[in-house]
Amino acid sequence: MDGLGLGTLNVATIVVEGARRHRNKTAVLTALPDGLHETSYGELWEQVRAAAGGLRARGVERGDRVAVMLPNVPQFIVAYFAVLSLGAVVVPIHLLFKREEITHVLSRSGAGVLIASGTALAEAGPAAVDTGTTVVGVGPVPDGVPVPAVSLDDLATEGTPLDAVVGTNPLDPATVLFTSGTTGAPKGAVGTHFALVEQANVCIIDLFDLREDDVVFGGLPLFHTFGQTVVMNTTLRRGATIVLLPRFDAATALALCVEQRVTAFLGVPTMFIALLEASRTSAERPPFRWAVSGGAALPSAVLERFETTFRSPVQEGYGMTETSPVISVNPRGVPSRAGSVGPAIWGVDVVIADAEVEGRIEPLPVGEVGEIVVRGHNLFAGYLDDPEATAEAMADGFLRTGDVGLLSEDGYVTIVDRKKDLILRNGYNVYPSELESVLHRHEDVASAAVFGVDHPVHGQEVHAAVVLRDGAAGTEAVDAFVQDRVAAFKYPRVYHVVDSLPLGPSGKVLRRELAARDW
């Protein structure tokens, strides 16, 4: 193929093999308002074949791009694998994106078709009209929204179901995930079939104790790399069961995990915090056997509380969209090293480089703080049609992550913070994650975020936004607690009590949105 001498490889093989090996087993359970929906591995592949046949009848071919804007419902999984099985490329769209952002994604990716839920069409419908994209609808469409050309159900009856996955080169693009990376408009990170399949394999072989009889929590958004690869593809590759939750709220999530006997919980730190809060008013505990946190720093107090409350080890890991996503994880079977995101995964190199040196990698000695750079099978194939941005992100074959961190003698990675979230107060570096970790240790604090605000004298001032627990008198006790534990140049000078923290589409706290507020 393509003169590379490689065989074929396609992410969609995951559902083909799933149907061959586990035909009658439940692949996906979905909690919808009208009850629990169950899809077996056999049914999943039949639905994928039918949808792929319909897309093919509409002209979708190998290499074409198809956008998908759906919540965590089974149709996301069907659409994802239907597109891939044709050798076409999936372009998932963040569910919170507005018309302008969706227009950007549709035009940048050149997607000819958009598969979207009725609700998403309020914003995505006009964007599809603007870009001349054909819309395939899922579920009821609200009044006043441009009507889709066809529903996914009807489309699935239009063509001849696909017999077999279309052959693709392992290095062909499989997905384009738009990520804001540094600044400016989101860029499309291209994920290859090879990197995505290898991630699922490494997750199963090396990283997690994922067993065929596991029931895995599916509350991480599937349009984001973490949910897509580590939850969806990995669980289906293993032949286990995913319990999808279309909209995360902690009380529902906790009840669902109890009812469906969920054994593995994967989430971003805000989900761990929210689940712990929900556990204060509910005595029921799901049978969690293992848990994984990633996407942002997990305060060590939260890790400890979760392990005690839910009697399950928590493995903190680190990754990003451009690395498909996993870079490092605390190993299973041994206690997590507090504050560390574990050693690099199998086949991946992590190096700490001088962040000030441009165009090449200048490694720093062990223990020194610098920019985390990564190379290995997990790397993306660049930003879509943006060689300049790709070249800027790469040096000497390594991806510059934009994260600041260090390595221990035995190869454990510690993330200090994201380069751009660093606060510079009186010329001193202040790292928000460190302070957030201390804040979370105080019993009055339900959640907290630290950020810098421009200041005429200090350059930047350290602010903290905190959500207090019921009964907490104010922030005085919290302030004293933090001042006791961190150096004077960095403790937060200004506290803001808020009802909730602003969260991005993948559940991460948006520190920059807090910083931009008019306090």
Site residues (CB under 6 A) for ligand AMP?
179, 225, 294-297, 316, 318-321, 325, 341, 401-403, 415, 418, 506
The answer for residues whose C-beta is within 8 angstroms of residue 431's C-beta and 6 or more apart is 404, 416, 417, 422, 423
Q: Smallest distance, Å, CB 467 to ligand AMP?
A: 20
Q: Which is nearer to ligand AMP, 18 or 267 (CB)?
A: 267
**Number of helices and strands in the chain (H, E):** 16, 25
Nearest residue to 217 (alpha-carbon basis) of 206, 204, 230: 230
CB of 76 to ligand AMP, least distance (A): 18
> Least distance from C-beta 415 to ligand AMP, angstroms?
4
Nearer Cβ to ligand AMP (305/418): 418
- Residue 306 makes CB contacts below 8 A (sequence gap 6+) with 272, 275, 276, 291, 312, 314
> 165, exposed or middle or buried, with CB in 10 Å at 0-12, 13-18, 19+?
buried
Minimum Å gap between C-beta 417 and ligand AMP is: 8
Compute the least distance from the CB of residue 361 to ligand AMP, in Å.
Answer: 17
- Separation of CA 205 from chain center: 21
SS3 (DSSP) at 32: strand
Of the pair 106, 341, the CB lying nearest ligand AMP is at 341
Closest by CA to 317, choosing from 241, 237, 234, is: 234
Cβ distance to ligand AMP smaller for residue 216 or 415: 415
- Smallest gap, in angstroms, from Cβ of residue 212 to ligand AMP? 28
Q: Which is nearer to ligand AMP, 141 or 341 (CB)?
A: 341
115 beta partners: 68, 136
**Comparison of 112 and 299: residue with beta carbon closer to ligand AMP:** 299
What are the CA-CA distances from residue 247 to residues 27, 137, 430, 467, 507 (Å)? 19, 19, 35, 21, 11
Question: Closer to ligand AMP at the Cβ: 239 or 319?
Answer: 319
**Type and span of the H or E element at 278:** helix 269-279
Q: Which is nearer to ligand AMP, 316 or 479 (CB)?
A: 316
Residue 359: burial class (beta carbons within 10 Å; 0-12, 13-18, 19+): exposed
Q: Are 267 and 315 in contact (CB under 8 A)?
A: no
Q: Pick between residue 85 and residue 401 the one whose CB is nearest to ligand AMP.
A: 401
Min separation Cβ 230 and ligand AMP, Å: 11
Distance between CA atoms of 297 and 232, rounded to whole angstroms? 22
Nearest to ligand AMP of 41, 208 (CB atom): 208
Least distance between ligand AMP and beta carbon 317 (Å): 6
- Residue 107 CA to residue 95 CA, distance in Å, equals 17
- Least distance from C-beta 229 to ligand AMP, angstroms? 10
Q: Assess contact for 127 and 93: CB atoms under 8 A.
A: no
Residue at token pair 């969609």: 12
Is the Cβ of residue 148 or residue 405 nearer to ligand AMP in the bound state?
Answer: 405
Please state, in angstroms and as integers, the Cα–Cα distance from residue 232 to each residue in 224, 228, 266, following that order: 11, 5, 11
Answer whether 263's CB lies under 8 Å from 288's CB.
Answer: yes
As measured in angstroms, the least distance from the Cβ of 321 to ligand AMP is 3
Question: 391-402 in b/e burial notation, b at 16+ Cβ within 10 A?
Answer: eebbbeebbbbb
Structural contact between residues 167 and 144, judged by C-beta atoms closer than 8 angstroms: no
What does 320-366 look like in DSSP terms, one character per residue?
-GGGSSEEEEPPTTS---TT---BBPTTEEEEEE-TT--SS--BPPT
Q: Is 507 left (phi over 0), alpha (psi -120 to 50) or beta?
A: left
- The closest alpha carbon to 449, from 483, 405, 413, 417, belongs to 417
Residue 45 or residue 97: which is nearer to ligand AMP going by CB? 97
Q: Which is nearer to ligand AMP, 123 or 316 (CB)?
A: 316
